[in-house]
């Protein structure tokens, strides 16, 4: 009886989720075992073992449950007990009938209310529903262009420019404050312990700025740190997570970037950063984590979960972006903690990095991101850091930088002064086709490299990472060919090599930069690509009798720039 009772559970038709849950995989609904079976003389139940996890030894096999024979005598029941049981069975039978009727009605006569699915988020206790964080965040962040030298005027200017330049309409909706917004001298209110805003920079406070940003139809983001201080030595949130989360919610904040500086020695991770392909920690010491070590138990994971849980308890949806630089194998626990998680150090406007930070350029970050692709999908995004487009890279490098961040489903946060932006830079940010790939509602996985190019496949190389990528979107199959060399190179997409292309078929090749069809091709397609530039192409199968479009001449470069 005890083992049988464990199988009886109330129906749960709406799984309870939070803004930080990985969405449930849809599985075949199963009804609870009817209680009436308990008192049948013999019951033979046969069901299939369905699983959304890895196949088990009996996956898909028939499982037979033989129920023991029972009788009133076996139960030793008195007349009173029999009456009570009969009444209970009547009630349960009625409830069970209602359950199956509801199940039938929901299946064949659905109401206007949608069930909770992959693209929906339910927080029942707060009576909130959102899809926030399902797709990579898009907007503006202040650090790359202003560092800590920020004020309300700069953010209002950025917000207004997002609207006036048409960027808001393309999905750039976050206006994110980075480090430097709080009072470096006063720190916290002695009574409430809330962080004190620097009113010289923000005379109306953060809540006043939030109101103005919201009036433009945009969202406001803010910055804090899991340590005792932020990276620029402003107050951090360690041991104040609950207070700070409540403060941010009260102010009307919509996004939190959470950094990783000034961690006390006792809070440092034993194995901060030990990717298998590098086998060193972040400080260069070769301290190998045991193979069985669970990085989700690290101090980093625990501290980030503390802030996650504090945010969940608020009556406001606040998207959570972790900035822990890839420490403690964040890809192993990041998706259950935040909507995005940084994979590397701070980006610089350099193609291959600076002499003091060789690993922080566009190519080193790309190289690192390629080893985190399997963890990126809806609700969880490997954050390659803010965009440096418009901050000193060449036009070709700007295009490649933006395209690579977009196709790998990284958040797209502009980091250049929008009131001084050039038409060429703006055109990169406004490429509708690359944005559509990044924000695709049906395909959450990023583009994948199908060939490395300069090096052998899956080579760890921070100068010449993978050059050939393919990926799907609702618009078709895409191929991206990067040129990491210092000269123009003709790049060829061989259909037999590209996953999803058929060498026996013809395809219309479309240039995602110019927005024009190039022509109909079969077996392969070649295009000259300038140094550090990238060809961004879409392939759609040509129908029988399709007319050949006018072929666009030229290389993948400035002459095929998409018009505004």
Residue 289 near residue 274, CB atoms below 8 Å? yes
Rounded distance, CA 222 to CA 179, Å? 8
Rounded distance, CA 443 to CA 467, Å? 22
Rounded distance, CA 408 to CA 343, Å? 13
Strand partners, 257: 223, 321
Strand partners, 540: 508
Name 378's Cβ contacts closer than 8 Å, sequence gap at least 6: 23, 118, 119, 134, 135, 444
CA separation (Å) from 37 to 9, 62, 83?
Answer: 14, 19, 18
Residue 342 near residue 324, CB atoms below 8 Å? yes
**Residue among 343, 326, 325, 328 at smallest CA distance from 293:** 328
Place of tokens 């206007």: 112
Q: How far is CA 14 from the centre of its chain?
A: 23
Name 286's Cβ contacts closer than 8 Å, sequence gap at least 6: 279, 280
Rounded distance, CA 457 to CA 422, Å? 37
Positive or negative CA dihedral for 109, 111, 116, 119?
A: positive
Catalytic residue among 178, 244, 254, 259: 259
Rounded distance, CA 311 to CA 446, Å? 28
Catalytic residue among 118, 183, 346, 517: 346
Name 3's Cβ contacts closer than 8 Å, sequence gap at least 6: none
Rounded distance, CA 30 to CA 26, Å? 12
DSSP state, residue 79:
H
Rounded distance, CA 79 to CA 62, Å? 40
User: Known catalytic residue: 346?
Assistant: yes
Q: Tell me how crowded residue 260 is: count the other CB atoms within 10 A of its CB.
A: 24
User: Known catalytic residue: 383?
Assistant: no
DSSP secondary structure of 524-537: EEEEEE-TT-EEEE
Straight-line distance from the first to the last Cα atom of the chain, in angstroms, rounded to the nearest whole number:
71
Torsion of CA 387, 389, 393, 395, to 10 degrees: 140
* Residues taking part in catalysis: 259, 346
């Amino acid at each position: 009886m005890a083992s049988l009772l464990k199988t009886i559970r109330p129906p749960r038709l709406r799984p309870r989720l939070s803004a930080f849950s990985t969405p449930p995989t849809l599985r075949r609904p199963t009804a609870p075992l009817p209680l009436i079976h308990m008192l049948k003389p013999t019951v033979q139940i046969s069901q299939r073992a369905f699983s959304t996890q890895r196949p088990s030894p009996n996956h898909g096999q028939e499982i037979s449950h033989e129920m023991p024979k029972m009788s009133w005598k076996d139960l030793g029941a008195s007349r009173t007990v029999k009456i009570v049981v009969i009444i209970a069975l009547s009630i349960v039978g009625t409830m069970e009938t209602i359950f199956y009727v509801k199940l039938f009605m929901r299946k064949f006569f659905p109401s206007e209310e949608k069930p909770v699915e992959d693209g929906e988020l339910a927080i029942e206790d707060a009576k909130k529903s959102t899809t926030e964080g399902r797709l990579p965040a898009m907007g503006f962040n202040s650090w790359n262009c202003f560092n800590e030298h920020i004020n309300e005027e700069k953010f209002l200017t950025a917000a207004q420019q997002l609207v006036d330049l048409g960027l808001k309409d393309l999905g750039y909706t976050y206006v994110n404050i980075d480090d430097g917004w709080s009072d470096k001298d006063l720190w916290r209110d002695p009574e409430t312990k809330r962080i004190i805003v620097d009113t010289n920079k923000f005379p109306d406070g953060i809540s006043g700025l939030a109101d103005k940003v919201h009036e433009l139809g945009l969202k406001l983001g803010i910055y804090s740190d899991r340590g005792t201080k932020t990276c620029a030595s402003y107050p951090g949130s360690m041991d104040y997570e609950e207070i700070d989360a409540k403060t941010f919610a009260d102010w009307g904040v919509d996004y939190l970037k959470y950094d990783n500086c000034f961690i006390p020695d006792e809070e440092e991770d034993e194995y901060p950063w030990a990717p298998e392909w590098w086998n060193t920690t972040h400080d260069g010491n070769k301290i190998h984590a045991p193979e069985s070590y669970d990085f989700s138990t690290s101090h980093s994971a625990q501290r980030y979960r503390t802030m996650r849980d504090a945010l969940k308890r608020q009556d406001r949806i606040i998207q959570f972006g972790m900035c822990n630089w890839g420490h403690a194998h964040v890809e192993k626990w990041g998706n259950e903690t935040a909507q995005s998680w940084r994979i590397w150090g701070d980006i610089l406007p350099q193609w291959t990095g600076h002499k003091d930070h060789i690993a922080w350029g566009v190519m080193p970050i790309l190289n690192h991101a390629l080893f985190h692709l399997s963890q990126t999908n809806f609700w969880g995004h490997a954050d390659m850091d803010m965009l440096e487009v418009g901050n000193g890279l060449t036009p070709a490098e700007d295009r490649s930088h933006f395209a690579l961040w977009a196709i790998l489903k990284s958040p797209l946060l502009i980091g250049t002064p929008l009131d001084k932006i050039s038409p060429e830079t703006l055109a990169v940010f406004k490429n509708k086709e690359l944005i559509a790939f990044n924000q695709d509602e049906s395909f959450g996985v990023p583009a994948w490299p199908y060939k490395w190019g300069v090096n052998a496949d899956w080579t760890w190389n921070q100068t010449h990472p993978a050059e050939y990528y393919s990926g799907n979107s609702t618009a078709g199959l895409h191929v991206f060919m990067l040129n990491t060399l210092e000269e123009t190179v003709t790049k060829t997409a061989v259909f037999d090599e590209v996953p999803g292309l058929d060498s026996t078929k013809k395809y219309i090749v479309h240039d995602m930069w110019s927005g024009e069809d190039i022509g109909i091709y079969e077996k392969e397609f070649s295009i000259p690509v300038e140094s550090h530039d990238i060809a961004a192409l879409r392939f759609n199968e040509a129908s029988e009798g399709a007319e050949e479009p006018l072929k666009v001449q030229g290389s993948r470069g400035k002459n095929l720039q998409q018009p505004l």
